[in-house]
A and B are shown apart, each in its own frame.
Chain A
């Protein structure tokens, strides 16, 4: 069968997402809900479809049940294709034995046969925990125009934040001359977004080289790693391959931590944030829960919020993101919070500056989180988090910064 594709995308769906604690207990990070009706992985998958990339491998090895069920045959993203489409690629056993993915580069190394089935010219490598809308086809064009071996998408970040990222140093033609992971004194403000375009032939060579080197080091008892940024990019720079930085302009947010997940949701409520979920030419697709429209009752007070279908709102909701099938009873208050699918906030409960996971219950007069103004010492303040399927009993308090994974 003829299966050739010019571009194949490989999505690193990551590991546990341990910094999201209670929210990733039974769920891989890319399946974490975001923005009222999405999951994180909807963004890269929708970007692929909108960019004309119809072959995507999703590399995952942590709690795959929810993610597998969510991706299914890829139909919600138009990725149910006769040839290509989306494929979840967990680690597997071979005659040589079985091994877990030992880093981002190794995950792709172990799936080289998947890529080779499509005999692509270019491979796009993506992360699963960033919120952004991007036309990858333009980045591939840029890669081709520069006759590059690898193109790394970068975003200009404030100088003060640059030391949190992998920083690219470029010449005036955008060619990368150096790459430093989380530098103490950054020489540039161009941060890697974890989005790469590789000429497949080159990537293949470096994946094999890295695999062999790392295994040799491991045998000798030396430190080793099989990582994209750390190993593949560094080796390519060392060999003076053509690496280019593709500057992205627009909204891009890493949601690797609870604080940044909360912020990224709140960003949707800010008119100054350029992330439009209502643009018909670049829709973000998601698996639909088939619920009726939301019902807003007589006692409701809703302002500056985003609320999804199937919800019943009869309480006060301000500066919040509510997912599908959420119930806010009369007399309940939700401010500056994220309430994930199917959760019930009962009468008299107050939820402020919090993330409440899916299918949880906040009973009457319970209190979750608090506004920063109410806390004397600002260091004691932070987002309160209630995990999935958790009940917070009547009149119980979840303090700011507290993370609850079990019933209280």
Chain B
């Protein structure tokens, strides 16, 4: 894909951190590990890069040490550039403290956006995982001469389970009619993927306007408050997506990748998801290993049995151990003769020999980073 200097990408790396508090205790949304070898920010960054966007700002809020470590210079996404490239935008608020919403954050980093020569801005969160080419969205946005184009997908929303979900309704012309945050119903609807394209001049107007009115929330003040004043359109994305809004959901979202159809929709050959390279060796399977229906990242050494699980880089499973329905993050060590099921083990957890740990499908057992059992 050739480079499109007309578009600036903005990633909100810390939106909705609070919903997965276990995982964001020592990190932020964007640096949550996902899918065996990735961090959530890899998905928006790869979407941008494969859409020709090579100027990207990453807006952080708090706990962003692991995010900075992951991103480095942006080289692994081909974003270590002289022209454009990756820009880290640490938190800073003119109204004191850290920013309170997307409009506030944008106001504080406006100098960066202003400096860009781009005509359009694509904003994306990290809590929605999908693979999308933004070029058709941009084309539609330009053809419609829209102020804002919201990217949504058809999906099943469950009031009991889902949190921080924005449901959209459009009229026959695809123009935004209604915006509901966490509405009290369940069923198939248009779910906002927390991505949108905005014409930069228009964005400047709403950001400065919001600042002077002391308004922070993009969803509340713009999408809900001004939907009739502005030309806000929808773009339907048909690919696989998953939104991570709880630890249970995180568990399910990872294990969805065991469905080859979903996995292939996310990891397209023409749009590989880029990530920080770990230089791990291949997976080593021992003499009596047995593996069924699992996703295993490089650097794992498996001597036991693994069923229906996601193993991140460098996980070790000892002899005669059984790992079932688990999500084991980078560097987890499971000793010998253990039996663990429905467990999420955060980075570098060590489970010593002969341990039995059991969570449930609907309420997985979470073991914090570096925990020793």
Chain A residues close to B by CB (< 8 Å) = 35-37, 75-76, 277-278, 283-286, 288, 290-298, 300-309, 312, 321-322
Q: Is B75 an interface residue (CB 8 A)?
A: yes
Residues in A with CB closer than 8 Å to B297 are 293-294, 309
Chain A minimum-CB-distance residue to B38: A292
Known: A36-B281, A75-B75. A303 touches B294 (CB 8 A): no
Most buried by A among B263, B277, B281, B289: B281
Residues in A with CB closer than 8 Å to B289 are 302-304
- Whether A296 pairs with B282 at a CB distance below 8 angstroms is no
Residues in B with CB closer than 8 Å to A37 are 281-282, 298
21 pairs of residues in contact across A and B, judged by CB atoms under 8 Å = A36-B281, A76-B277, A283-B279, A288-B279, A290-B275, A294-B296, A295-B294, A296-B292, A296-B293, A300-B291, A302-B289, A303-B286, A303-B288, A303-B289, A304-B286, A306-B281, A306-B283, A307-B296, A308-B283, A309-B282, A309-B297
- Whether B273 pairs with A290 at a CB distance below 8 angstroms is yes
Chain A minimum-CB-distance residue to B288: A303
- Whether A294 pairs with B283 at a CB distance below 8 angstroms is yes
- Whether A278 pairs with B301 at a CB distance below 8 angstroms is yes
Bin the interface of chain B by size: 35 or more
- Whether A35 pairs with B286 at a CB distance below 8 angstroms is no
Chain B minimum-CB-distance residue to A302: B285
Q: Is B267 an interface residue (CB 8 A)?
A: yes
Most buried by B among A75, A288, A292: A292
Residues in B with CB closer than 8 Å to A292 are 35-37, 257, 263, 266-267, 273, 295
Chain B minimum-CB-distance residue to A304: B287
Q: Is B284 an interface residue (CB 8 A)?
A: yes
A28 to B310, CA, bound (A): 37
Besides the known contacts A285-B279, A296-B295, 11 further A-B residue pairs in the complex with CB atoms under 8 A apart: A76-B277, A290-B272, A291-B272, A293-B295, A293-B296, A295-B258, A297-B292, A303-B285, A303-B289, A304-B287, A309-B37
- Whether B75 pairs with A298 at a CB distance below 8 angstroms is no
- A-B contacts, CB under 8 A, total: 107
Q: Is B94 an interface residue (CB 8 A)?
A: no
Q: Is B23 an interface residue (CB 8 A)?
A: no
- Whether B296 pairs with A308 at a CB distance below 8 angstroms is no
- Whether A296 pairs with B279 at a CB distance below 8 angstroms is no
A334 CB → nearest B CB, Å: 13
- Whether B275 pairs with A293 at a CB distance below 8 angstroms is no
Residues in A with CB closer than 8 Å to B75 are 75
A300 to B314, CA, bound (A): 21
A346 CB → nearest B CB, Å: 16
Residues in B with CB closer than 8 Å to A297 are 292-293
Q: Is B260 an interface residue (CB 8 A)?
A: yes
Q: Is B144 an interface residue (CB 8 A)?
A: no
A301 to B306, CA, bound (A): 12
Q: Is B234 an interface residue (CB 8 A)?
A: no
**B 198-222 binary contact with A (CB < 8 Å = 1; else 0):** 0000000000000000000000000
A43 to B280, CA, bound (A): 14
A281 CB → nearest B CB, Å: 12
Residues in A with CB closer than 8 Å to B295 are 292-296
A307 to B301, CA, bound (A): 11
Q: Is B274 an interface residue (CB 8 A)?
A: yes
Chain A minimum-CB-distance residue to B272: A290
- Whether A295 pairs with B263 at a CB distance below 8 angstroms is yes
- Whether A298 pairs with B292 at a CB distance below 8 angstroms is yes
Residues in B with CB closer than 8 Å to A302 are 285, 289-291
Q: Is B299 an interface residue (CB 8 A)?
A: yes
- Whether A278 pairs with B281 at a CB distance below 8 angstroms is yes
A283 to B32, CA, bound (A): 25
Residues in B with CB closer than 8 Å to A304 are 285-287, 289
A303 to B286, CA, bound (A): 6
B255 CB → nearest A CB, Å: 12
Residues in A with CB closer than 8 Å to B263 are 292, 295
A321 to B282, CA, bound (A): 9
Residues in B with CB closer than 8 Å to A296 are 291-296, 306
Chain B minimum-CB-distance residue to A278: B281
- Whether A293 pairs with B298 at a CB distance below 8 angstroms is yes
B295 CB → nearest A CB, Å: 5
Chain A minimum-CB-distance residue to B312: A293
- Whether B292 pairs with A300 at a CB distance below 8 angstroms is yes
A250 to B301, CA, bound (A): 22
- Whether B298 pairs with A305 at a CB distance below 8 angstroms is no
Residues in B with CB closer than 8 Å to A309 are 37, 282, 297-298
